[in-house]
Amino acid sequence: AEVVIVRDEEEAGELAASAIADLLRARADAVLGLATGSTPLSTYRALARRIDAEGISVAGVRGFALDEYVGLPAGHPEGYRQVITREVVEPLGLTPELIRVPNGDPATIRTAAEDYEAAIDAAGGVDLQVLGIGRTGHIGFNEPGSSLASRTRVKTLTERTRVDNARFFDSIEDVPMHCITQGIGTILRARHLVLLAFGDAKAEAIAAAVEGPVSASQPGSAIQLHPHATVIVDEAAAARLE
Ligand code: F6R
């Protein structure tokens, strides 16, 4: 992977946003892969500014979120459908019908994964996938032990990830046990991966992803199998790189 070390999250966001803006200018119906969580927020903010300032037309842009919790009540503010609407679709002015999030409704979960893969295929695949990484090394919600060839499916969240994400909920009990996530194989089919990480809590996961052996026990290491992966990190997240 190409590793870029930047001063701070704002500079990382500018850099990632400029790669996305180039894509959107080249392709009016570009397909974006969208991450949630804290990491991509500076990217989405910078992208919203550029779309505004440069008058980039985004009405035809399509998007696929990486993952969703299973079993949150419909419309829950921390469900990734709501998060994507609030943090991406609205500020960027995207067309809501063109932005998909895996369906975490238990009633339809048996077919949701296959439907999602089929929708990504029908869109012609993802042009640029934004990624964060968990302290466990997960990308999407592919926790350690996920097959490097995996496709969208239901997974169990690790305790560590539930603890990390409890900050978005009233208590850890409210964090769902399960999620539906694009697989590592799904992510690897995107044409460009942009992985962002900030802070020393991510330093080990970044070193394992960029320099460690490629292994299902470090899902982020799958980026080494990708011909066009860009890793944008601050000094703290880069601290364990050789
Ligand atoms: C989010 C996702 C996760 C996060 C990761 C880091 O859609 O798939 O892999 O990117 O958990 O989360 P933050 O950015 O909140 O540290």
CATH of 2-234, one of 1.10.287.470, 3.40.190.80, 3.40.50.1360, 3.40.640.10: 3.40.50.1360
Indicate the helix (H) or strand (E) that contains 161: helix 159-165
Instruction: List ligand 1's pocket residues with C-beta within 6 A.
Output: 35-39, 66-67, 132-134, 138-141
Candidate list 9, 14, 67, 87, residue with the active-site label: 67
Name the residue of 44, 66, 142 to mutate for ligand 1: max ligand atoms within 8 A of Cβ. Answer: 66
Ligand 1 midpoint to CA 168 (Å)? 12
Distance in Å, CA 212 to ligand 1 centroid: 20
Q: How far is the CA of 107 from the centre of ligand 1 (A)?
A: 25
pLDDT at residue 225, as a whole number: 98
Tens of pLDDT, residues 94-126? 999 999 999 999 999 999 999 999 999 999 999
| pLDDT beneath 70: ranges in the chain | none
Give CA–CA dist 101/106, Å, rounded. 15
- Cα 106 to ligand 1 centre (Å): 22
Produce one character per residue of 65-96: b if its CB has 16 or more CB atoms within 10 Å, e if not: bbbbbbebeeebebbbbbbbbebbbebbebee
Residues in CB range of 82: below 8 A, 6 or more apart:
75, 76
Q: Is 164 a catalytic residue?
A: no
Q: What is the pLDDT of residue 217?
A: 98
| Domain spans, the chain | 2-234
Radius of gyration of the chain, Cα coordinates, nearest whole angstrom: 17
Q: Which of the following is catalytic: 68, 117, 138, 234?
A: 138
pLDDT score of 56: 98
Q: Give the separation between CA 108 and CA 105, rounded to whole angstroms.
A: 6
pLDDT for the residue numbered 171: 96
Q: What is the DSSP letter of 146?
A: -
3-class SS at 231? strand
Q: If 0-12 CB within 10 Å is exposed, 13-18 middle and 19+ buried, where does residue 147 land?
A: middle
76 part of the active site: no
- Residue among 24, 90, 17, 94 nearest 49 (CA): 17
